Amino acid sequence: MTGRDAAFVEVSSAGWAFWRALLDTCVGLIVGSLYTFLGIVVIGIVGEEALSSLYWQVDLDPLFRASMGVILLVAAVLAIGVPFVFVAERYAALRAVESSAGADPSAVPQRSLRLELKAAPASHLQTTGLVLFCCLAGLGGIFALGVLFTEDLREDAVSWVALLVFAVLAFGAEMLRRIGRRAVERDSARMGTQWGRWKRGVPRAQQADAERRAAAVAAVVPRWLTAPSARLLHRIATVLLAATFISLAAFMLSVFMRQQCRTCDPVYWDEPIENGIDLLSLSSGVAIAVCAALGILAWVGGVVLQFARESALSRWVADGAARRIDVGLVESLLSGNRAAVRLQLGLSALGAGAVVVGVGALWAEWSAMDASSVLGAAAILIVLGLIIGWSDAPRSRRQRQLARDALFPGDIGPAGEL
């Protein structure tokens, strides 16, 4: 590898693209579950405090209670499944990098992919096993103390079965940790080879890009890359975020004034404070809903704008002519999440919310909703998001490589050492 022929290359593969899309889907499911939890809490409190007649008329309480149980189940499934998807994605990334190095030893993968492989893939499996073992051992130990010192539990056969289940699961977690440790030792040579290659190649590729960029002709940046400016978009996001936090603070204040702790009795005030609390709860709840709606609109607008910029950038550099521009104007288009990935995350999050509410309606036997239709829509959203993210991988690699070959942006991407 020489400084003249070294270059940053967008590395990808069909296998890595699938696991990356599946991992992004899991991230969307986690985010959607969290937002659904917050939505249920806010709607439940606002409905009970300020809109009690309508709230009980619609009878949302059974649905929300059942949905909270579904959220716990979804959280448990994701907590167990996502780490394995994470490890599989890292191994697929390692294979893609090795395949790229075999085809072109002078090529250096993009920074985001190198940072993914900052640690050996199996190290995450080792960490997962350790965390699961500590959790299971801690919960099992607490339950064992209860069995030993509580006569009713000690005489109940189910308690001993539960202890046996804890022991078996903790043993499995320990085996998982050991498997991860052995895999880290086994893969140390593979990882060392790639890290050494990157350590030598990154400075050379960075220098080569700088030289090519300096030799290129300065180009006028198209307006679609600068309008609306990143500063304006940042200000809009800051205002929305500040308004959301203020609304949440007002909402929590109304909750605290009504009930100071979880086990405390509700506090009722003299007028006009009593009406003021209801008004504060209602207005802050409405403000949160408005901020959420505006946030969704801003997010959709951002995805559309990014998609338009990605397509326009690809058309602009399609001729392959070298150009020199301010790299900061295209950095987010070359290193951040693609518009398709952001859409995938949104669809997955929406699907997660639909799963929670749909299963909650089934558990609560809530007849006001067609739970089967909601669950069908949830499945379509999640699968559609996965397909969108997976199918965009070849297009992403092609478009970003075209931009790299024409603009020579250097080693752009998230902060990190690799």
CA distances to 106, 118, 141, 228, 313 from 31, in Å? 39, 25, 32, 28, 30
Q: In the listed set 321, 351, 384, which residue is the last one of a domain according to the structure?
A: 321
The residue count of the chain comes to: 418
pTM score, whole prediction: 0.85
> Same structural domain for residues 312 and 221?
yes
> Same structural domain for residues 311 and 245?
yes
4 lies in some domain: no
Beta bridge partners of 218: 324
Q: Output the CA torsion sign for 252, 255, 259, 262.
A: negative
* pLDDT at residue 362, rounded to an integer: 92
Give the separation between CA 132 and CA 168, rounded to whole angstroms.
12
Q: Output the CA torsion sign for 310, 316, 321, 323.
A: negative
Preceding omega of 272 cis (within 30 degrees of 0): yes
Angle at which helices 339-364 and 273-316 pack, to 10 degrees?
A: 140
> Same structural domain for residues 146 and 31?
yes
Structure token pair of residue 364: 């609560």
The answer to whether 13 and 99 are in contact (CB under 8 A) is yes
DSSP state, residue 223: G
> Same structural domain for residues 233 and 207?
no
Structure token pair of residue 72: 């716990």
327 lies in some domain: no
* pLDDT at residue 238, rounded to an integer: 86
91 lies in some domain: yes
> Same structural domain for residues 85 and 204?
yes
126 lies in some domain: yes
Q: In the listed set 321, 350, 366, which residue is the last one of a domain according to the structure?
A: 321
Beta bridge partners of 245: none
Structure token pair of residue 230: 């990143």
Structure token pair of residue 339: 């518009």
> Same structural domain for residues 340 and 203?
yes
192 lies in some domain: yes
Query: Residue 278's domain spans which residues?
Result: 217-321
User: pLDDT 10s digit of each residue in the chain, 418 long?
Assistant: 444 478 899 999 999 999 999 999 999 999 999 999 988 887 777 666 555 555 566 677 788 889 999 999 999 899 889 999 999 999 999 999 999 999 998 899 999 999 999 999 999 999 999 998 998 899 888 888 888 888 777 778 888 888 899 899 999 999 999 999 999 999 999 999 999 999 999 999 999 999 999 999 998 888 887 777 767 877 888 888 898 888 888 877 877 777 666 566 677 777 787 778 778 877 887 888 888 888 888 888 889 999 999 999 999 999 888 999 988 888 888 988 999 999 999 999 999 999 999 999 999 888 878 889 999 999 999 999 999 999 999 999 999 999 999 999 999 888 777 7
Give the separation between CA 170 and CA 153, rounded to whole angstroms.
21
> Same structural domain for residues 200 and 343?
yes
416 lies in some domain: no
361 lies in some domain: yes
Which residue stretches of 269-370 are H helix?
273-316, 331-335, 339-364
Give the separation between CA 10 and CA 12, rounded to whole angstroms.
7
76 lies in some domain: yes
CA angle 383, 389, 393 (to 5 degrees): 140
For the chain, the domain total comes to: 2
The answer to whether 146 and 166 are in contact (CB under 8 A) is no
Give the separation between CA 120 and CA 191, rounded to whole angstroms.
7
> Same structural domain for residues 32 and 151?
yes
> Same structural domain for residues 184 and 172?
yes
> Same structural domain for residues 67 and 182?
yes
CA angle 13, 212, 113 (to 5 degrees): 25
> Same structural domain for residues 171 and 280?
no
Structure token pair of residue 255: 């909750």
- Over 57-95, what HEC string results? HHCCHHHHHHHHHHHHHHHHHHHHHHHHHHHHHHHHHHH
**What phi, psi does 415 have (nearest 5°)?**
-70, 145
Q: Is 320 left (phi over 0), alpha (psi -120 to 50) or beta?
A: left
Closest Cα partner for 185 from 271, 256, 108, 126?
A: 126
> Same structural domain for residues 227 and 354?
no
Give the separation between CA 179 and CA 44, rounded to whole angstroms.
45
* pLDDT at residue 49, rounded to an integer: 55
Q: In the listed set 262, 295, 321, which residue is the last one of a domain according to the structure?
A: 321
